[in-house]
Amino acid sequence: MKQKLEEIRARAEAELQKIDALADLEALRVQVLGKKGELTAILKSMGSLSAEERPKMGQLANEVRQSIEAMLAEKTKQLKEEQMRREIEATPVFDVSAPVDLTRGSYHPITLVQRECERIFKTMGFTVEDYSEIVTDYECFESLNIPKAHPARDMQDTYYLENGQLLKTQTSAAQNAIYKKYKDALINDGVPIKAIFPGRCFRNEATDACHENTFFQMEGVMVDKNISISNLIYFMKTMLSEVFQKDIKVRLRPGFFPFVEPGFELDISCLICGGEGCPSCKHSGWLELCPCGMIHPAVLRDGGIDPEEYTGFAFGLGLTRLAMMKYGIKDIRDLNSGSLKSLSQFADDE
Ligand code: FA5
């Protein structure tokens, strides 16, 4: 038995010399020390030894096991170091002294579309407003006729801060503040409220070719005496034909939003597939682009405006989707990818 034990140790040592892959090392460990390994088999046969022999052989077997384990540990360390060295050598060196590529940066397609929309609406007498990305529950929901526990909140799950504020899910969150800002000029001086407010929105939802968790909308509102759905349709059509510089097929269908009554969904025929159906339009041929409607009396009242005297329209244009349609971008996720290769294609637009 003594001789067998010495043979196992010697063979293991010889095998170890030849191994140069971590996987082979593990195979050797199993072969010698594993449940069905050579050394384990010997330990199991100890019972047949005399009472005098057993402790001596037991001690030797333990020594052999420990020395093989030590050799395996040493070899593992050595192989891991070699592997790391190979990886470091294969990594390209970053040369801080190399000349810099001074290729001009470019505007993001969403910035380009946003500026284009701002230009169009400014020519029609709208002001452009900026608004915070972090808002209160009141701004994002309650002032929009969406009380706590209203089912409409389910469609717009978002990210909440510990102080109870949230990342805005819709640019509509600025409506209340805009009404309050301009109501005195409207009531006292008869100046209509005409404002657009582009902004980044956030929703906790699964992403696909036409949905992102971070995207841009552009809200627009107009409030005055005798504002009707005709005014709304006129501004929507003018904006779309200016942005695309051609006639775009649109459809208006009923849509529910607690802050407008009546409410509509304005869809455009998908420009990626020409209306045939593709992943960008969820295979429907149409793309939801701009929900809109007549501002709900409760929302006007909350903004300090008498709904008996004034009416208005509001719309929430999907700016990110507009950029996709304008530039033929098939997957919305490309817009947040930070890939200069895709984004720099639009550099010449401005
Ligand atoms: C709204 O957000 C309403 N605030 C719009 C509104 C404003 C209605 C004023 C009436 C009056 P909706 O959840 O449908 O509605 O989003 C509006 C548009 O934003 C959509 O048509 C779409 O173009 C865009 N949008 C919504 N969710 C996403 C998303 N996850 N990724 C990209 N675009 C989105």
Collapsing DSSP to helix, strand or coil, 71 comes out as helix
Q: Would you give the DSSP letter of residue 288?
A: E
Measured on CA atoms in the order 167, 171, 175, 178, is the torsion positive or negative? positive
Tens digit of each residue's pLDDT (9 = 90 or more) over 273-320: 888 999 888 899 998 889 999 999 999 999 999 999 999 999 999 999
Point out the ligand 1 atom lying closest to the alpha carbon of residue 263: 10
Q: Which of 264, 265, 281, 288 to mutate to test the pocket of ligand 1 (most atoms within 8 A of CB)?
A: 288
pLDDT for the residue 4: 85
User: Which residue's CA is the closest to the ligand 1 atom numbered 27?
Assistant: 211
Confidence band, pLDDT 50/70/90 cuts, at residue 350: very low
Q: Pairing mode, if any, of strands 127-128 and 292-295?
A: unpaired
Spatial contact of 267 and 318, defined as CB atoms under 8 Å apart: no
Q: Would you give the DSSP letter of residue 125?
A: T
What are the angstrom distances between the C-alpha of 13 and each of 25, 37, 76, 287? Answer: 12, 15, 14, 70
**3-state DSSP: the chain helix, strand, coil percent, rounded to 5?**
50, 15, 35
pLDDT for the residue 172: 98
Point out the ligand 1 atom lying closest to the alpha carbon of residue 264: 10
Tens digit of each residue's pLDDT (9 = 90 or more) over 250-259: 888 999 999 9
Which residues, 6+ apart, have CB-to-CB distance to 324 below 8 Å? 210, 272, 280, 330, 332, 335
Point out the ligand 1 atom lying closest to the alpha carbon of residue 321: 23
What number is the average pLDDT over the span 63-68? 90
Tens digit of each residue's pLDDT (9 = 90 or more) over 94-127: 778 887 776 667 889 999 999 999 999 999 999 9
- Is the pLDDT at 348 greater than 70, yes or no? no
Of 228, 222, 297, 231, nearest to 259 by C-alpha is 297
Distance CA 170, CA 198 (A): 10
End-to-end CA distance of the chain: 86
